[in-house]
Amino acid sequence: MGSIKAIGFIPAKKPAPNQNQVLSKQQIEKIANAFAEAIAEHFPELEDMDEEDLEDWLNQEIDD
């Protein structure tokens, strides 16, 4: 991992030469679940919303 400085993101080491790594379905699901948990933790009001309500909420957040 790198560190975030006022000048931007500074990588801790050089990136791997193969930048075309393909993630497995399991890895993608693990990442998606982690994002979903983090979002649910910070926005508990979203838990009971259906897709249309979520879209309206997101559009409102973007407009603010």
Q: Where are the domains of the chain?
A: 23-64
Measure CA of the first residue to CA of the last residue in the chain; give whole Å: 32
pLDDT for the residue numbered 19: 65
Report, in angstroms and rounded to the nearest whole number, the Rg of the chain calculated over CA atoms. 17
pLDDT for the residue numbered 23: 83
> Each residue of 7-55: pLDDT tens digit?
555 666 666 666 667 888 999 999 988 988 888 888 888 888 888 998 8
Tokens (6 digits) for 20: 């075309």
Residue 11 C-alpha from the chain's centroid: 19
Cβ contact 54:43 at 8 Å: no
pLDDT for the residue numbered 2: 44
